[in-house]
Amino acid sequence: MKTIAEFEQQLAMQNGCDPETQRKRTQTLCDLSYAYSLVDVNKSLGFGEQALAQARELKDRLLESLSLRYIGIAYGVEGDYHKALEFYEQAMIIAREIGYEEGVGSCLNNIAINFHNSGRHQQALDYYQKSLAIYKRIGDKAGEAISYINIGELYYDWGDHEKALHYELKCLDIAEMLDRPDIMVDPLLHIGNIYTARNSDDKAMEYYTRALGIADEVGLKERASQLCSQIGHLHRRAGSHEEALAYFSRALDLSTQIGHKEGLGYSHQDIGQVEMAWAIWKRPKTTYCSRCA
């Protein structure tokens, strides 16, 4: 999996005017739009719009569909669910017209996420299941795994931890079968969240730690930052202030590296809270008798 810096370096080298180079450049613009969607929505939209204009100039319908979908993702991250839905539907129309079933499945999955994030959970489940059915029909095991992640997360939000765990484990099984560490991270993270909600902190730590090792290995810095934060909260809950501070500080460093503004905000807040708690804990204890003397 390439980093944003690697994609930007690749883009800088794609200067040829021939159609093949321009198609590769458009694909890289799409990749950058998606890569930036988690860390900088404005840049994500900028790259997506460039990709869309170039795809239309090339009359490449597949890249046009992909560009529209990635623009939709950026709007979804921004919280503009109506705008996101418009772009997903445009992308899906094109994908159907050209027989790009994988793209149809991805659009259905993105629409489901849109409904999920806007609180329309039953509609989300309906679209997740439609997406899953397509992935199964075309034999896309990675797409199937991602559908299971999202269905599991939906059941978690509904408070049904047993069903959530069932779907996350199904995803993990497929990711391990495919040897796709990049897919393994999210189900491990979500399983950790389930055990945290159950107050099974040792089990949660086991899954978070495994997920963090994989995220570090494959360069998923945004997820690594999130996992450091989760591990920090477990240490804080256990009263291990020094360990909590170390993980929150690492989360801050990772968010700084990728310019993830939301992560930066959470990390500063977490560090402030643990430092305050630690300062209170380290104060000299005053006994009842000494206060009455």
Model confidence at 279, pLDDT cuts 50, 70, 90, reads low
**3-state secondary structure at position 220:** coil
pLDDT in tens, 151-194: 999 999 999 999 999 999 999 999 999 999 999 999 999 999 99
- Could you tell me the two tokens for 93? 């129309």
Distances (CA, A) of 190 to 153, 230, 270: 7, 11, 20
**Cβ atoms within 10 Å, residue 169:** 14
Q: How far apart are the first and last CA of the chain?
A: 67
pLDDT in tens, 50-90: 999 999 999 999 999 999 999 999 999 999 999 999 999 99
pLDDT confidence of residue 292: 37
pLDDT confidence of residue 91: 98
Query: Average model confidence (pLDDT) for the chain?
Result: 92
- Please determine, for residue 220, whether its predicted confidence score (pLDDT) is greater than 80: yes
Element at 18 (helix H, strand E):
none
pLDDT confidence of residue 278: 60
Contacts of 119 (CB under 8 A, 6+ apart): none
